Structure 1
Amino acid sequence: MASDHEKGLALVERLWGAVPPLASDPSPLMSETLEQLFGRIWQRQNLSVEQRSFATVGVLIALNRETELRLHMAAARNLGHADDALEELILHVAYYAGWPCGIAALRVLRDLQNTSGASK
């Protein structure tokens, strides 16, 4: 049976296609991130990884956390969330969290589209 750390690493690889360098950082923060967040919380039964990804993007839009939003929006696209669904999420969250959060999130999505070469 895989450890929570191993499950976390496998999920990170699924989300981003590779394990980012920061994931190998030996700090307690990164250990907790891999073991607890990705190895346990993201692995729970009542929501799929795709649902957790979409929820995470919504929260990061609302909190206006651009760096993490960029990572999780890329992961959402890797999991198959279409750009039009992400745009709809941005619009929905903007009404609750504020227009500047929505505009910032749209910029992130457009940047990802431009760097990946196409919409998903």
Structure 2
Amino acid sequence: MAKKQTAGRDNLGEFAPQFAALNDDVLFGEVWSRESELSPRDRSMITCASLITQGVPQIEAHLKMAKQNSVTKEEIVELITHVAFYTGWPKAWSAFSLAKEIFDEA
């Protein structure tokens, strides 16, 4: 079962309460919890690939989540290598820098 997310409310709750609620309750509470359709591991792989192609800072949090969802270092390396040809070398380099920090942690 996916861990209850509170990042929306923790970071934006007072400033943008509706967005925070949608983030925590709908995206993570409903979509990510549909484990019979896609496992958290698979959702992490898909999400990381999507975020890498966009070059957005949220990739760091999702790489950490991917590791928690049992995505291996070898799998994330292969994912980044694969998407590099579709999204661009600079985005892959940036993703590798983060992934190396996250997946080389003890």
Give the TM-score normalised by structure 1. 0.74
1:53 aligns with 2:44: yes
Task: Tell me the number of residue pairs that the alignment of Structure 1 and Structure 2 aligns.
Answer: 101
1:101 aligns with 2:91: yes
1:23 aligns with 2:9: yes
Aligned-residue Cα RMSD (Å) equals 2.1
Task: In structure 1, list runs of 5 or more residues that go unmatched.
Answer: 1-6, 13-18
1:47–1:113 Cα change, 3 Å? closer
SS in 2 for 1:39: helix
The 1-side partners of 2:4 and 2:85 are apart by: 31
Residue 108 of structure 1 aligns to which amino acid in structure 2? L
1:73 aligns with 2:63: yes
Question: What stretches of structure 1 move > 6 A for 4+ residues in a row?
Answer: none
Identity percentage of aligned residues = 26
Between Structure 1 and Structure 2, the one with more helix by share is 1
Residue 105 of structure 1 aligns to which amino acid in structure 2? A
Match of 2:53 among 59, 62, 80: 62
Residue 45 of structure 2 aligns to which amino acid in structure 1? F
Task: In structure 2, list runs of 5 or more residues that go unmatched.
Answer: none
Q: Is the 8 A contact 2:59 2:95 kept in 1?
A: yes
